[in-house]
Every structure is written in C-alpha cells, then in structure tokens.
Amino acid sequence: DAGITQSPRYKITETGRQVTLMCHQTWSHSYMFWYRQDLGHGLRLIYYSAAADITDKGEVPDGYVVSRSKTENFPLTLESATRSQTSVYFCASRDTSGNNTGELFFGEGSRLTVL
Amino acid sequence: AQSVTQLGSHVSVSEGALVLLRCNYSSSVPPYLFWYVQYPNQGLQLLLKYTSAATLVKGINGFEAEFKKSETSFHLTKPSAHMSDAAEYFCAVSDPGSGYALNFGKGTSLLVTP
C-alpha cells in the first residue's frame, strides 16, 4: 500500500542497548523527518533529511543517529538507549514538488519503552 | 525562529457547542500554518493549512481557521462539536531553517461531553 510505514510499532528494550526504528515511504518524497512526542512537549524534531545522503540535526538530536542511503528509507538509531528516550517516535515525509508549503505526512508512530 | 503557542492544554465542550482552539504564532517570515489532529494511538492527520492565499481556511470534518496577522493568531473553530471530534489537536508553523519541518505547539486535548 502507498504511504509511510514505521516498524516496529511497539518496542521494549533495556538501557544501553542499540535500537533501530525503521521508516519507509512509497511516495518518493524528498524530505523526511523524525519527531519524538512526549507529554507536555508536543512533537520535537530529532533529525531531517533533504534527500539521500543528506541529513541534518533538528531540535533534539543527542543520542540519535540517522542515515539515508535510499530515498524511501530513513532509519533512526539509538546507539545506547537511555530511559529519557522512552517516547513515541513519528516519521514524516514531505513532497517538494511545486513549492515548500506542503504538509507533512506522518506514519502511525513507534512506541519505545526503555527499561 | 518560527514557533506557535497553543492556549489551553485541555478544552471541554458539550456536544453541539462551538469548538474554539487557540493558536498564536511567532515568525520572522510570512508563516505557513497548519492544524493537525491526532486520535489515540494514531499518527497525525492534516485538518487544514494556511499558505498565504485566503485568510479563512476550511478544512476537513467541518473545521476552519482564520489567519489574523494583526493578532498573530490562527485559531481553529467548528460550529457544532461532535463526539467523534474528541482528540488531540496540534497547531504548527513551517520552519524554513530546517527543511520546512513543522514546529509544533504542545497540543490541546479536546473533550466532548454528551
């Protein structure tokens, strides 16, 4: 099906372990984004990518690593998970055809719990 | 930097009553503004967006918002609330400095009572 999909939807891990959250989109959108959602903070931007092999930091990048070897995939890695990274993570993409006023399209989220 | 402030983290209305969710923005450039809705355990869905065309923007599910530059506001309204409108609502502004990512407000939880 066309759209943006995230996996896993739910993940429980332990402090210090490496975790990778996957994001895949079928639209060939140039821009992709990772946000985390926490109560009282809304959504905060972690990293974004303008195209394959082009990534940049957002508001809260510490403790996270991203890569984008293919346009359709934008994985987010927590190299050594901490309890403060317990959150719901959303991937999003944006079409840039025409102009930069396009909305973001969101995946359904990945709920990560770090014990 | 572009930012938005949502006034009221929780709003409660009766079914059939007017819904008003407040959002004020701060932007150094003409803003692109958005309202999203999030239902439990789901992603965010676009309700409407303002991109400098008409100041009154109509969205899905009977929602609309009016861009008021003099008040730096972009409040979301719906004339008559329905039970299915109960959700979390986010106002957002586009940020040219980060690939036109969206900077979100902290959200307003709408409760609709019978």
Across all residues in chain B, what is the average pLDDT?
93
A-chain residues near B106 (CB < 8 A): 40-42
For residues A30-38, give the mean pLDDT: 96
Question: Element (H or E) spanning A57, and its range?
Answer: strand A54-57
A-chain residues near B42 (CB < 8 A): 108-109
Chain B closest-CA separation from residue A75 CA (Å): 17
Please give the pLDDT value at position A2: 66
- pLDDT tens for B47-97 read 999 987 788 999 999 999 999 999 999 999 999 999 999 999 999 999 888
How many CB atoms within 10 Å of residue B101? 26
- pLDDT tens for A80-95 read 999 999 999 999 999 8
Q: What are residue A87's phi and psi, to 5 degrees?
A: -175, 175
Three-state SS across B11-64? EEEECCCCEEEEEEEECCCCCCEEEEEECCCCCEEEEEEECCCCCEEECHHHCE
Question: Which of B89, B94, B68, B97 lies closest to B11, judged by CA?
Answer: B89
Please give the pLDDT value at position B16: 97
Please give the pLDDT value at position A101: 67
Across all residues in chain A, what is the average pLDDT?
93
Please give the pLDDT value at position B51: 86
Q: What are residue A72's phi and psi, to 5 degrees?
A: -85, -15
Vertex B90, ends B95 and A51: CA angle to 5°? Answer: 40
Cis peptide before B79 (omega within 30 of 0): no
Question: Which of B11, B5, B78, B90 lies closest to B46, judged by CA?
Answer: B90
pLDDT > 70? residue A98:
no
pLDDT > 70? residue A61:
yes
Chain B closest-CA separation from residue A34 CA (Å): 10
